[in-house]
Amino acid sequence: MKDKFYNYIQQLQDTITSKLQEVDGQAKFHEDIWERPEGGGGRTRVIENGAVFEKGGVNISAVDGKLPESMQNYFGVKDANFFACGLSLVMHPKSPIVPTVHANWRYFEMYDADGNIVDQWFGGGQDLTPYYLFDEDAQHFHSICKEACDSHHLDFYPNYKKQCDEYFWNAHRNEARGIGGLFFDRLKKTATMSMQDWYNFVTTIGDSFLNGYVPIVEKRKEATYSKAQRDWQEIRRGRYVEFNLVHDKGTLFGLKTNGRIESILMSLPPHVQWVYDHHPEKGSEEERLLQVLSNPKQWV
């Protein structure tokens, strides 16, 4: 399974970076191949200063070795070894009219001292972070998520949409990071779902990603915007940074397993503002966004 899924994310990285380069029309992804001293490595691809994307990355990794003590305590195990692979992406557009997007699809195995698999699961999801809210864009993104989920089980979309709203919640701000999407973790073998079934589900979600995001970018990328709108984007990006550094499990896992720091922090936007006690004007589009972020909506 680990070889099968790693092959899949290698191919998916190629598909996604090729399409996003085409959408940008100017910048190209720069590739870094890296190795982790404790075992494994990855392929990081970053795009910067493009016509559409100010900064973005589409990274894959496959790492293995002894599970660090901090993670052993987290999982409640002792002297375990692990393997983890996944694709993680974040795209920060230059225009505040175009939303930021994040996605991650991953697979994890844990082994006993004899090398036997004692646990394995899939995780992942995708979510959208607009700076200006267009309801039809939110509906489109969620419709693609729902369609992909419904092809496997009708309970998946409502369950994983709810988990996404709960996970991407900036508790210290009492607001969502964005308008959500899907989030799932520890998808394990059950009486009704084999690991192959979960593989089929996660790859369906991965394959749907470009259909959910690219039409929104194409629709919004030529829109004009003001300096005030750009300032608002940078203020909201600050909330994005806060979530990633304070709450995000993937960031924390990477930091605790001696992950490659440049790849881990690739998700951070290049230009950000923290303005003291900032509040948007009453009745503005900026205020409308905050109202939605404080109470997640059912988009489809």
Just list the catalytic residues. 102
Question: C-alpha distances in angstroms, 199 versus 13, 149, 184, 189?
Answer: 17, 13, 13, 11
Determine contact, residues 227/20, Cβ cutoff 8 Å. Answer: no
Please give the Cα distance from 180 to 91 (Å, whole number): 15
Determine contact, residues 59/44, Cβ cutoff 8 Å. Answer: yes
Residue 241: closest CA among 82, 55, 80, 64: 55
Residue 59: closest CA among 199, 270, 265: 265
DSSP codes, 204-229: HHHHHHHHHHHHHHHHHTT----HHH
